[in-house]
């Protein structure tokens, strides 16, 4: 299978229209190590060239699985990982976040687990208000100079923090963020207002995560049936908005649009997720080989203008049906930051 390759911003790297998000391979999903290795290699054989992981996924196990899978074909892979969160169960504030101290340790740990001498795209997993962004930028610039990372990016950053990172880099003649990895789906379109235009302005490549909106856009969640036993809605109901009426309404309407277009809702969602001109790649996260084959079935699908317009009528551009899905909330929204001390 051939999958379209697209420029990743101005990095000079070209990435497949769909990338493999590996988070559910390992303890957080598929615990069959051999099957996980097959999934990664099957994706690469299918035309995917970008693999995305993070140090905190299953406390490092996910990076080890990815490293083992690509060990004989490292040069074929655009390898992406992330740092920020604690790895393992501990309360040490110096072993998390975006400080130079932690970045220097985190990158060495990731390189070891991945079994490689360089990371193609090293991503800051979330903002860290406790750390000066200039400190983070400088540490990452040093890693680029050392050749341990080839480029770096942000993940789930608001537009203003992306701008601050670029300003910090420009003031010191350092390398600013090359990419942003943002949550984006037909039900979560807020980044169209600010993050995507900001990325375009700075020439950044954009990877998008959760294009199926946590399973909502597979059609498995309806009013007429309980969530499937192995679905997120059943296994993590406290963290899943299964009763969201706005989403239930939208999914019904989007399912009708998919049927009219002659495609599945899943394929409609994936093809839509890479239609925006700022988006280089959408991350798919299969747990099984069968799921991978289905997702890759959308790799060549392009939606016509009438279908795209119909989708806009269901969820308007720039609208998030559930703002809690954005993945990070600025600390300024907390009650103790909104009210004067008494």
pLDDT tens, position by position, 258-288: 999 999 999 999 999 999 999 999 999 999 9
- C-alpha distances out from residue 20 to 80, 178, 199, 209, Å: 10, 19, 22, 10
Going by pLDDT thresholds of 50, 70 and 90, the confidence category of residue 223 is: confident
Using CB atoms within 10 A of its CB, is residue 223 exposed (0-12), middle (13-18) or buried (19+)? Answer: exposed
Q: Is the pLDDT at 228 greater than 90, yes or no?
A: no
Three-state DSSP at 175 gives coil
Annotated active-site residue in 57, 122, 184, 221: 57
Euclidean distance between CA atoms 270 and 292, whole angstroms:
13
CA-atom Rg of the chain in angstroms = 20
Instruction: Give tens-digit pLDDT for 14-72.
Output: 999 999 999 999 999 999 999 999 999 999 999 999 999 999 999 999 999 999 999 99
Euclidean distance between CA atoms 179 and 207, whole angstroms:
7
Average pLDDT over every residue of 85-97: 96
pLDDT value of position 127: 98
- Any idea which fold 13-331 has? TIM Barrel (3.20.20)
Going by pLDDT thresholds of 50, 70 and 90, the confidence category of residue 237 is: low
Active site residue 122: no
Average pLDDT over every residue of 86-101: 96
Instruction: Give tens-digit pLDDT for 103-118.
Output: 999 999 999 999 999 9
Q: Is the pLDDT at 231 greater than 80, yes or no?
A: no
Token pair, residue 213, equals: 């909106």
Mean pLDDT of the residues in the chain = 95
- C-alpha distances out from residue 58 to 61, 66, 185, 187, Å: 5, 12, 25, 27
Answering whether pTM is above 0.75, one says yes
Instruction: Give tens-digit pLDDT for 295-307.
Output: 999 999 999 999 9
Q: Is the pLDDT at 137 greater than 60, yes or no?
A: yes
């Amino acid at each position: 299978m051939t999958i379209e390759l697209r420029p990743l911003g101005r990095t000079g790297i070209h990435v497949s229209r769909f990338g493999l998000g590996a988070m559910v391979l390992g303890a957080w999903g598929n615990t069959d190590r051999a099957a996980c290795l097959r999934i990664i290699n099957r994706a690469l054989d299918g035309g995917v060239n970008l693999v995305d992981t993070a140090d905190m996924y299953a406390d490092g196990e996910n990076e080890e699985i990815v490293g083992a899978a690509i060990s004989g074909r490292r040069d074929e892979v655009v390898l992406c990982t992330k740092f920020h969160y604690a790895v393992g169960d501990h309360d040490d504030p110096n072993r998390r976040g975006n400080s130079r101290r932690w970045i220097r340790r985190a990158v060495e740990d990731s390189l070891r687990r991945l079994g490689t001498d360089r990371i193609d795209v090293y991503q800051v997993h979330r903002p860290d208000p406790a750390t000066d962004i200039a400190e983070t930028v400088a540490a990452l610039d040093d890693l680029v100079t050392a050749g341990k990372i080839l480029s770096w990016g942000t993940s789930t950053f608001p537009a203003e923090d992306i701008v601050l990172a670029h300003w910090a880099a420009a003031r010191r003649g350092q390398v600013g963020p090359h990419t942003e990895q943002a949550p984006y789906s037909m039900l979560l379109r807020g980044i169209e207002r600010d993050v995507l235009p900001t990325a375009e302005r700075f020439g950044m490549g954009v990877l998008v995560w959760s294009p199926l909106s946590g399973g909502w856009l597979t059609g498995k969640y309806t009013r007429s049936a309980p969530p499937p036993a192995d679905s997120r809605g059943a296994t993590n109901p406290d963290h899943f908005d299964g009763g969201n009426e706005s989403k239930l309404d939208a999914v019904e309407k989007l399912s009708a649009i998919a049927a009219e277009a002659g495609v599945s809702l899943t394929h409609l969602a994936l093809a839509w997720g890479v239609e925006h001109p700022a988006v280089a790649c959408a991350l798919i996260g299969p747990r099984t080989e069968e799921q991978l084959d289905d997702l890759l079935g959308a790799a060549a699908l392009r939606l016509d203008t009438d279908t795209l317009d119909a989708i806009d009528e269901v969820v308007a551009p720039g609208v998030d049906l559930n703002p809690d899905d954005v993945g990070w909330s600025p600390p300024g929204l907390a009650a103790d930051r909104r009210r004067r001390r008494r």
